[in-house]
Structures are given as C-alpha cells and as structure tokens.
Amino acid sequence: DVLDPDRLIQCPYNKHHRIRACRFPYHLVKCRKSYPEVAKELATCPFNARHLVPQADLSDHIMKCNDKGFIEQDIVNQSLGFQREQMNAVSTWQAPPCDEDWET
C-alpha cells in the first residue's frame, strides 16, 4: 500500500538502506550529505522531491511520474476556482462626479 507510513523504501544513495516511508524525507537529507558523489549523479523529480533518479533518466521519469497527474489536477482546479471568482466578482467602481452640464 503506497499510503502505508511503515512500508519500506529503498534509499537512492545506498541500496542497502531500507527506510520507513514516514522517515524517508529526513533520511534523504541525511544521506545526501553522506554520499555527495552519488548525489551529483541524481536529479530530483519536479513533481515529488522524494523521487531521485539518474540525471539521464529524468525526462523519461517526468513523462511517466504518477505524481504529475496530481499537480496537473491541482492546476486545473485552481484555474477553475479563479474563473468562478472572476464571474462572481461584483464591480465596486463608480463614475466620478461630473461638473459639466452639456445641456447648458
């Protein structure tokens, strides 16, 4: 189950490290410092910072990343919300008083 906080995830810096999902972000920070040479070869997914892939594979990962759908849906929902706000907005603009009388 991908939502299980106790499931084990393999560390991208050291294949022998298996970390619980709930501790994984903290482990990544710690391990990045311990393995700077490996860190240079990995790229971070723009949709999920927990996805570290070899730099050469990043574009392929971006195309297939499951988290991309969540971001795209978020963008759609935000733009729909903005459009609704624009349609419901009532203008408070009032014309300034005019001293001219064109009838005279």
Phi-psi sector, 91: left (phi>0), alpha (psi -120 to 50), beta: beta
Domains of the chain: total: 1
Task: Compute the mean pLDDT over every residue in the chain, rounded to the nearest whole number.
Answer: 88
Residue 91 resides in a domain = no
Residue 93 lies in a domain: no
The arithmetic mean of pLDDT across residues 69-75, rounded, is 79
Torsion angle of the four alpha carbons 33, 37, 38, 42, in this order, in degrees rounded to the nearest 10 = 90
Query: Which residues form the domain of 26?
Result: 8-69
Residue 78 covered by a domain:
no
Q: What is the pLDDT of residue 86?
A: 67
Q: Give the residue-averaged pLDDT of 42-46.
A: 95
What is the model's pTM? 0.64
Domain-located, residue 48: yes
